[in-house]
A and B are shown apart, each in its own frame.
Chain A
Amino acid sequence: MRPRVFAFLLLLLAWTAMRPAAAAAQPTWIRVSGDPAVMSVAAAPPGAPPAVVVDASTTYDVKARQNVQRIRAWLDAPLPAGVKLTIELQAPAGAVSAGEVELTTSPQDVVVQLPKNVTAYGLAITYRLTATAGSGTMLLTTRVVTLEVTT
Chain B
Amino acid sequence: MRKVMGVAVLAVLALAVGAREVAAQTTAQQNVTFEVAAINQIAIADAGVTLVVNSATAGQAPAAVSATSSYSVTTNEVGKKITAKLETDMPAGLTLTLELAAPAGGASAGAKVLNGSAAEDLVTGISKLNETGLTMTYSLSATSAAGVVPPGNRVVTLTLTDGV
- Which positions in A face B, CB cutoff 8 Å? 3, 6-7, 10-11, 14-15, 18-19, 22-23, 26-32, 34-36, 38-50, 53, 58, 60, 83, 85, 125, 127, 129, 131-150
Contact = CB atoms under 8 A, between A and B. Distances in A.
B26 A149 contact: yes
Interface in B27-50: 27-39, 41-43
Given A6-B7, A18-B18, A137-B76, A39 B39 contact: no
B137 interface: no
Interface centre among A11, A36, A46, A49 (most CB of B within 10 A): A46
Contact of A14 (B14, B33, B75): B14
Contact of A7 (B6, B22, B76, B128): B6
A112 B74 CA distance: 39
Contacts of B73: 46-47
Given A44-B39, A140-B34, 16 more contacts: A11-B10, A14-B14, A26-B22, A26-B24, A32-B28, A45-B72, A45-B74, A46-B43, A131-B36, A136-B77, A136-B78, A138-B35, A139-B35, A140-B33, A141-B34, A144-B32
B58 to A, nearest CB: 45
Interface of B: 3, 6-7, 10-11, 14-15, 18-19, 21-39, 41-43, 71-78, 128-133
A48 B130 contact: yes
B26 A30 contact: yes
Given A22-B22, A48-B132, A60-B28, A133 B39 contact: yes
